[in-house]
Structure 1
């Protein structure tokens, strides 16, 4: 399977504990012709947005993530790094675990991402484009 060429990599730090760092928007200085609809951007003029903003996204994850029993029993904590594509219609596709911590946490992070509502698509030159989005999800045991 081949994937469209990717440009630069940008990440967004956002954790379930409510601590959040905003992604900076980077303007492209490229003079390339209009992008192929299948191209996946990693840096865009307008980043994809979760409906309701950052706080709504954190709340969604807090409300929908369940700490896996096995991870709780094994005392597993850490960060699962997820990557996905926000499509031109806001749908979430191509969900992947970039780096996991096991004990069911990776699968739980993917399950929660699959439940997310459609996002507001990212834009390049005023048009919706496919954008790769990286999201760390932190699992921390209370106590």
Structure 2
């Protein structure tokens, strides 16, 4: 069984475009400095949309993306919307994110799907 598992893992790594989930990794992707630093980045970069301010819109935009082997984010998508304006802003900021540390499988970087929420709160 161990041999079959090793062969399956080798075959999976032969597919350079495969996107992995967290459960199959030895090291999950992370933002340099940790997730707290990523939320600080979001806090600095988010520009509250004027329409959302006028309407006192608050809440969360849920998004997903793929952390690529080089740490870049790709395939950024909104998975649960708040408003068109907040969704657009969340996409804008996520697309300008600095590179992450990639996820690892068998010591090699792999593409990993990541889910996150972006908070819109009027303080």
TM-score normalised over the length of structure 2: 0.86
Q: Which runs of 4+ in 1 moved over 3 A?
A: none
Partner of 1:54: 35
Does 2:99 correspond to 1:123?
no
CA RMSD of aligned residues (A): 1.4
Q: Distance in 1 between matches of 2:84 and 2:69?
A: 34
Alpha-carbon distance, 1:82 to partner? 0.6
Which of 16, 36, 41 in structure 2 is aligned with 1:37?
16
The structure having more radius of gyration, on CA atoms, is 2
Q: For structure 2, which runs of at least 5 residues remain unmatched after alignment?
A: none
Residue aligned with 1:83, SS: strand
Q: For structure 1, which runs of at least 5 residues remain unmatched after alignment?
A: 1-29
Preserved contact between residue 80 and residue 138 of structure 1 (Cα < 8 Å): yes
Q: Which fold has the larger relative contact order, with Cα–Cα distance below 8 Å and residues 6 or more apart in sequence?
A: 2
Preserved contact between residue 76 and residue 103 of structure 1 (Cα < 8 Å): no
Q: Distance in 1 between matches of 2:44 and 2:121?
A: 15
Size of the alignment, in residue pairs? 113
TM-score normalised over the length of structure 1: 0.75
